[in-house]
Amino acid sequence: MVTRSIKPLVAGNWKMNGLKAELAVATEIARGYDRELKHTVDLAICPPATLLFPMTAALTGSRIATGGQDCSEQESGAFTGEVSAAMLADAGAGYAIVGHSERRTLHGETNAIVRAKAEAAQRCLLVPIVCVGETQAERAADKALAVVRKQLRGSVPDASTPATLVIAYEPVWAIGTGLTPTAADVAEMHEAIRGELGKLLGKAAAAGVRLLYGGSVKPSNAAELMNVPHVDGALVGGASLKAEDFLGIARACR
Ligand code: 13P
């Protein structure tokens, strides 16, 4: 067991899943988030934007936060289809995932765009969850650490603090595949991330920033992953759609 100085965060990324009927999953999670769990782990659910407002309402009093899955780098105006950080905040969100690999690959988001989105989130007092991670080819070429360090240098806003920034390390090849890196590989990467943040933000700030691991996290592997040094929680895709699985991952942080 590692001794934790940072309260872990388990965040669910529902991706493009969830209609009104699935609000029941959120309320079931809230029912299972008991006093002991509240003491040991923070929870957040990032539903599709259409569910943000009703989900935040459904979770009132539960101490479970909600978040957007992306936000525009623009404040407002003629940007058809985009959702601004202010809109997420207005709908009750506390977090905004930015730079998820699916956005980086499918929507061509560069580090500069991701940084602008993270800054937009921070301006609206949302905490950006900035995602980084290498592809399978980059890991095979022994470039994983260099790739992730470069993503951090390009995407993390200056002067971020533990209260205004969360990082999620999500190896692209581990997302939705059932594959996970070894505990040793996660430990090496998270230590490198902490070190790089130290250069960017100063050691004291970097020491408190929550570093989540994401990619095929499920109840059966969560305890091992959450016990890796410098892993301060999880960003969960598929398993966050089932209340029992999401709660199982939260319990693994105890
Ligand atoms: P899975 O947990 O489904 O692998 O997805 C991880 C992810 O992309 C979370 O953002």
Q: Is the CB of 122 under 6 A from ligand 1?
A: no
Q: What is the pLDDT of residue 1?
A: 45
For residue 178, the ligand 1 atom closest to its alpha carbon is 4
Give CB contacts under 8 A, 24+ apart, made by 144-151: 144/171, 144/185, 144/189, 145/188, 145/189, 145/192, 148/189, 148/192, 148/193, 148/196, 149/192, 149/196, 150/111, 151/99, 151/111, 151/114
Helical segments of 82-218, H only: 85-90, 101-106, 111-123, 136-140, 144-155, 183-201, 203-208
pTM comes to 0.98
Q: Is the CB of 170 under 6 A from ligand 1?
A: yes
Q: What is the pLDDT of residue 254?
A: 85
Residues 185/147, Cβ–Cβ less than 8 Å: no
Q: What is the pLDDT of residue 4?
A: 66
Q: Is the CB of 236 under 6 A from ligand 1?
A: yes
Candidate from 97, 129, 170 with most ligand 1 atoms within 8 A of CB, to mutate: 170
Alpha carbon of 190 to ligand 1 centroid (Å): 17
Q: What is the pLDDT of residue 5?
A: 87
Q: Is the CB of 237 under 6 A from ligand 1?
A: yes
Parts of the chain with a pLDDT under 70? 1-4
For residue 97, the ligand 1 atom closest to its alpha carbon is 10
Q: What is the pLDDT of residue 120?
A: 98
Q: Is the CB of 67 under 6 A from ligand 1?
A: no
Q: What is the pLDDT of residue 227?
A: 96
Q: At what angle do helices 144-155 and 111-123 cross, to 10 degrees?
A: 50
| Nearest residue by C-alpha to atom 5 in ligand 1 | 237
The 10s digit of each residue's pLDDT in 147-200 is: 999 999 999 999 999 999 999 999 999 999 999 999 999 999 999 999 999 999
Residues 145/191, Cβ–Cβ less than 8 Å: no
Residues 6+ apart with CB under 8 A from 114: 98, 99, 104, 130, 151, 154, 155
Q: For residues 47 and 242, what is the distance between their CA atoms, to the nearest angstrom?
A: 13
Candidate from 13, 14, 136, 177 with most ligand 1 atoms within 8 A of CB, to mutate: 13
Which residues are known catalytic residues? 100, 170
Q: Is the CB of 217 under 6 A from ligand 1?
A: yes
Residues 6+ apart with CB under 8 A from 84: 71, 72, 74, 75, 76, 120, 124
Q: Is the CB of 238 under 6 A from ligand 1?
A: yes
Which CATH superfamily is 9-73+81-251 part of?
Answer: Aldolase class I (3.20.20.70)
Alpha carbon of 100 to ligand 1 centroid (Å): 10
Q: Which two tokens stand for residue 72?
A: 């525009």
